[in-house]
Amino acid sequence: MTAEDEQGLRQRLAAASPLVVKVGSSSLTDARGRLDLAALTALVDTLAAHRAAGHSVVLVSSGAIAAGMAPLDLPRRPSDLPTQQAAASVGQGVLLAAYTAAFAARGLVVGQVLLTADDVTRRGHYLNARRTLERLLAMGVVPVVNENDTVATQEIRFGDNDRLAALVAQLIDAHGLLLLSDVDALYDGPPSLPGSVRVPFVPTVDALQDVRIGGSESGVGTGGMVTKVEAAAIATSAGVPTLLTSATQARAALSAADVGTVFAPTRGRGRARRIWLEHATAPQGRLVLDDGAVAAVTERRKSLLPAGIRAVEGTFSTGDAVDVVDPSGGVVARGLVNYDSRELPALLGRGTKELARELGPAYEREVIHRDDLVVLSRRRR
């Protein structure tokens, strides 16, 4: 990519519609870690200007836990999950009330969308989330998305909103993703170290081998730069150009100024569902295949049938995500399973016709339909 391509991407991002904007806790909090209304209002001003220019916007906002601290008299951000959930329960209402008022002052209506990873991996829920977001945008509403912290358990948590924002971007086929943090760009080393230099352009995330990507230094954010680079990798692999900068530079970024770090798209658009399955799901179990079934699933892209499964591991329900592994334990695919872990063992190694004759036509169904199966490029253990 040339410098001209970088500028072209900046122009595309500045005109993106829909644009997904993610703002982190560190950009919405004051020195004591509590919600900073002035910072929130400045962000809303910028987004309202983007809307006034005719572009639609989805805001993915962290800050529920921070916003819950003052009403609950918590001196610092809680570290245990139940207290975080309680703070988020109180704070999400405060946060949304602040956004509702700030956007209303600029003539805009907001809609709250709370998502869990589970919500967006099951087929019905995934389609539902997309339909809701699309309808909100069609009605001129600004969706304000956050993780549903109060019900998300440790196992199924996104934990940080960077990945959630990238998944929302590809879910709605966004034309751009803007990640706003307390740091103005990705640096080639810890930004607190003198001598670290801004990385203005990343043609592909694989090119970041020499960059020291660290955790959060802010005390309120969760993932640090690691989750932002992961989010950029997810979004760009779905064809969505991504720009990372600070909330205070958001307006400059949306004027295509030379700020922050631009990540170029690495693939075409339209792989939405497969990316959700690959990145958003927490597998609940494993299915061990024989070699013939591995070849059928990975090379011939067939649905997975009981005949090719040797063993079932873990406890899962119909519709859950499971890893599909080869005889030596390497993960070759991930999919949504059509049976639960109690009924599946009795079916293994048997033909579907025979099962249907014996148990009824319902048992002719695949264990994982190929539309619900994503073949992973690298084998993971």
User: Which among 61-69, 280-288, 329-337, 367-375 is the span making contact with ligand VHF, rule CB under 6 A?
Assistant: 61-69
Task: Name which of ligand VHF, ligand ADP, none residue 225 binds, using a CB cut-off of 5 to 8 Å depending on partner kind.
Answer: ligand ADP
Question: Which of 222, 237, 284, 341 is close enough to bind ligand ADP by CB under 6 A?
Answer: 222
Task: Report the site for ligand VHF in 85-124 (rule: CB under 6 A).
Answer: 88
DSSP letters along 4-65, please?
A: HHHHHHHHHHHT-SSEEEEE-HHHHB-TTSSB-HHHHHHHHHHHHHHHHTT--EEEEE--HH
Closest-CA residue to 152 (of 83, 81, 93): 81
Residues 101, 49, 9, 40, Cα dihedral to 10°: -30
With H, G, I as helix, E, B as strand and everything else as coil, classify residue 188: coil
CA 215 vs CA 160, 189, 267, 306: distances in Å = 12, 11, 27, 43
Q: Does 166 bind ligand ADP (CB under 6 A)?
A: no
d(CA 43, CA 254) in angstroms, rounded, equals 12
Question: Which of 46, 121, 146, 261 is close enough to bind ligand VHF by CB under 6 A?
Answer: 146
Task: Name which of ligand ADP, ligand VHF, none residue 323 binds, using a CB cut-off of 5 to 8 Å depending on partner kind.
Answer: none
64 backbone dihedrals φ, ψ, rounded to 5°: -65, -45
Cβ of residue 74: shortest distance to ligand VHF, in angstroms? 12
Taken in order 238, 259, 215, 196, the sign of the CA dihedral is: positive
User: Which among 41-49, 221-229, 345-353, 373-381 is the span making contact with ligand VHF, rule CB under 6 A?
Assistant: 221-229
Q: Does 160 bind ligand VHF (CB under 6 A)?
A: yes
Cβ of residue 36: shortest distance to ligand ADP, in angstroms? 12
Question: Which of 191, 241, 285, 335 is close enough to bind ligand ADP by CB under 6 A?
Answer: 191
d(CA 201, CA 220) in angstroms, rounded, equals 27
Task: State which residue, 207 or 311, has the beta carbon closest to ligand ADP.
Answer: 207
User: Which among 202-210, 219-227, 250-258, 267-275 is the span making contact with ligand VHF, rule CB under 6 A?
Assistant: 219-227
With H, G, I as helix, E, B as strand and everything else as coil, classify residue 154: coil
Which residues pair with residue 370 across a beta bridge?
Answer: none
Cβ of residue 322: shortest distance to ligand VHF, in angstroms? 27
Task: Name which of ligand VHF, ligand ADP, none residue 85 binds, using a CB cut-off of 5 to 8 Å depending on partner kind.
Answer: none
d(CA 186, CA 243) in angstroms, rounded, equals 10
Task: Name which of ligand ADP, ligand VHF, none residue 146 binds, using a CB cut-off of 5 to 8 Å depending on partner kind.
Answer: ligand VHF
Taken in order 301, 305, 310, 315, the sign of the CA dihedral is: positive
Taken in order 110, 235, 27, 41, the sign of the CA dihedral is: negative
Closest-CA residue to 126 (of 163, 170, 158): 170
Cβ of residue 292: shortest distance to ligand ADP, in angstroms? 46
Task: Report the site for ligand ADP in 9-28 (rule: CB under 6 A).
Answer: 24-27
Task: Name which of ligand VHF, ligand ADP, none residue 183 binds, using a CB cut-off of 5 to 8 Å depending on partner kind.
Answer: ligand ADP
Question: Which of 84, 85, 92, 216 is close enough to bind ligand ADP by CB under 6 A?
Answer: 216
Residue ranges binding ligand ADP (CB under 6 A): 24-27, 181-183, 186-187, 190-191, 211-214, 216-218, 221-225
Residue ranges binding ligand VHF (CB under 6 A): 24-26, 62-65, 88, 146-147, 149, 160-161, 221-223
